[in-house]
Amino acid sequence: MGTTVFERRQPAASIIDRSLAATRHSVFWIDDLPARLRPDRAALTGTHRADLVVVGAGYTGLWTALLEKQRNPDAKVVVVEAQRVGWAASGRNGGFCEASLTHGHENGMARWPNEMDVLNRLGRQNLDEIQASEAEYGMDFQFERTGQLAPAVEEHQVEWLREWAAEGEEGVVYLDQDEVQASVHSPTYLAAVWEKDTCGMVHPARLAAELARVVEEQGVEIFERSRVTGLDTSGTGVTVRTDAGTVAASRAVLATNVFPSLIKRNRLMTVPVYDYVLMTEPLSGEQLASIGWADRQGIGDMANQFHYYRITEDDRILFGGYDAVYHYGRKVRPEHENRPETWRTLASHFFTTFPQLEGLRFTHQWAGAIDTSTQFTAFFGTARDRRVAYAAGFTGLGVGSTRFAGNVMLDLLDGVENERTTLEMVRKRPLPFPPEPAAALGINLTRWSLDRADHDRGRRNLLLKTLDALGLGFDS
Ligand SMILES: Cc1cc2nc3c(=O)[nH]c(=O)nc-3n(C[C@H](O)[C@H](O)[C@H](O)COP(=O)(O)OP(=O)(O)OC[C@H]3O[C@@H](n4cnc5c(N)ncnc54)[C@H](O)[C@@H]3O)c2cc1C
């Protein structure tokens, strides 16, 4: 078995120790919000009526509320959130806002080859509309359409990049070793593909907070700290219930993502896979000059266990990924967010990538649950005589596609047949994950196999090939 560049060029332990000595366990993005974007909202009490009730105030719920107000300005919309607006994945992600609705081109081609032209066009349109919404609604979520760079950090990955570039997709540029190192100065880069137009970078917590602000200005009511515990469809509409109140509405949207679904049959459709992140202090002008990165792309390397990193508006570097950890029992729990060994691994890989930044410190460390489904992208549907719609399972790529999901759910509730609702990707449900202990066994074996493939020139073992053939898998 071979080694990876991160093992061959490991920095000294003292460099890692120093970089993590004063790191806070806290989500940088949320700490970075101005107070006016974090208003304390009331909890739901008493009885309320609405046309549409949305459960969950992450991107999926908030985009759905905004899109509903666009479609029906007079509609009364209520959003009920168990904790705070954007506290979960929506407030703590990498901020890569991609056009892809299928968790990447390859995954889409493997599953819905006949639909990819439409899916690519709809995805691009969705991204354009997200970008335009900043000006349209006077929002500031620091959108930068910089595209995404995929560097090869092992020889066998260079071949993958050549094949990718040869497909001739619009806006995809191949950079050889000199070109990529001239762009971003990492000694680990052997070549790269730069997808110039299909990704923008956002400030994740700002995106959620700004959406909440805008929908409230349009009359949407948001209740926080109000966990919905039941759905009642015995009457003509749908009533959602918390311990202290109810909302009776004509229709409901469930935007609860990786959390236990209020629809029983969806409970086995997603598993939380924990992903870990570091944020550095702001780089000085000299430090910035030492890494280049003038085009400020999002970067995701080509390994199966990949790292993603990006630069913030105030020139910090967010560095995350690699370890994707599944905890037995598929629960979302704060204690799963604490994993010092993973932050050490990430710090080590950071200084392998940018050895010239030795001495830089990490100010924040955090983790979040990736909303994994077996098809690596969201599934959609309705329940209870089409009074309830749901979408979940974005598998680590929901910053852009949650808005698309909002449109799909509203279409489904309306019962309209259009380009979105007739997609096989929308109509067909993926396979569920098996219950425990099979889920943990399967997921951890898959992870082990992916790690082995990274150590063995990318070669996929029998298990991975079988999962590929079944259209099943595990990713983050
Ligand atoms: C560390 C990390 C990095 C990521 N990086 C990227 C990235 O760079 N690019 C990308 O595209 N995607 C990324 N993702 C994935 C992306 O963040 C998610 O796909 C997206 O935020 C999902 O949005 P959501 O609204 O569906 O879910 P969430 O943000 O999880 O929101 C769901 C909300 O529903 C609420 N809720 C749940 N149950 C109830 C209930 N019973 N009653 C009331 N409220 C309830 C929750 O409290 C929560 O606020 C990342 C995820 C993580 C964790």
Q: Hey, which bits of 373-452 come out as E strands?
A: 379-383, 388-392
Tokens standing for residue 463: 């298990």
pTM: 0.95
Helix, strand or coil, per DSSP, at residue 136: helix
Distance CA 436, CA 268 (A): 10
Report the distance separating Cα 276 and Cα 234, nearest Å.
43
Closest Cα to atom 3, ligand 1: which residue? 93
Distance between Cα 212 and ligand 1 center (Å): 15
Task: Answer yes or no: is the C-beta of 57 below 6 A from any ligand 1 atom.
Answer: yes
For residue 355, give the 3-state DSSP assignment.
Answer: helix
Task: For the beta carbon of residue 287, count every other beta carbon within 10 angstroms.
Answer: 18
Give 141-170 pLDDT, tens digit per residue. 999 999 999 999 999 999 989 998 998 888
Please tell me if the CB atom of residue 412 comes closer than 6 angstroms to any atom of ligand 1. no
Q: 381: Cβ below 6 Å to ligand 1?
A: no
Q: Give residue-wise pLDDT tens across range 82-123.
A: 999 999 999 999 999 999 999 988 889 889 999 999 999 999
Output the CA 283–ligand 1 centroid distance in Å. 29
- Cβ 305 under 6 angstroms from ligand 1: no
- Residue where the block lists tokens 């609705």: 101
Question: What confidence tier does 473 reach under pLDDT thresholds 50, 70, 90?
Answer: low
What's the burial of 32, exposed, middle or buried (CB within 10 Å: 0-12/13-18/19+)? Answer: middle
What percentage of the chain's residues is helix, strand, coil (to nearest 5)?
A: 35, 25, 40
Q: Whose CA is nearest to atom 46 of ligand 1?
A: 56
Alpha carbon nearest to ligand 1 atom 35, residue: 56
Please tell me the predicted confidence (pLDDT) of residue 55: 98
In what helix (H) or strand (E) does residue 370 lie, and over which residues does it extend? strand 362-372
pLDDT band at residue 250 under the 50/70/90 scheme: very high
- For ligand 1, is residue 200 a contact (CB within 6 Å)? no
Q: Which residues pair with 379 in a beta bridge?
A: 392
Q: pLDDT class for 403, splitting at 50, 70, 90?
A: very high
Q: Return the pLDDT at 475.
A: 55
Q: For 60-77, what is each residue's pLDDT tens digit? A: 999 999 999 999 999 999
CA of 321 to the centre of ligand 1 (A): 16
Q: Residue holding tokens 């209740």?
A: 223
Residue keyed to tokens 């549409």: 52
Pocket test for ligand 1, best of 28, 90, 323 (most atoms within 8 A of CB): 90
Please state the length of the chain: 476
Instruction: Give the pLDDT confidence of 404-419 residue by residue, as tens digits.
Output: 999 999 999 999 999 9
In the block, which residue shows the tokens 């000595």? 21
Which runs of consecutive H residues, i.e. helices, occur in 234-389? Answer: 285-291, 340-353
How high is the pLDDT of residue 467? 65
Least confident of 146-150, 182-186, 331-335: 331-335
The whole-chain average pLDDT of the chain stands at: 93
Q: For 302-320, how does the pLDDT look when each residue is reduced to its tens digit (9 = 90+)?
A: 887 889 999 999 999 999 9
Say if residue 431's pLDDT is above 90.
no
Of the candidates 259, 350, 411, 320, the residue with the CA atom closest to the CA atom of residue 9:
350
Distance 210 CA to ligand 1 centre (A): 16
Rounded CA separation 5/143 (Å): 32
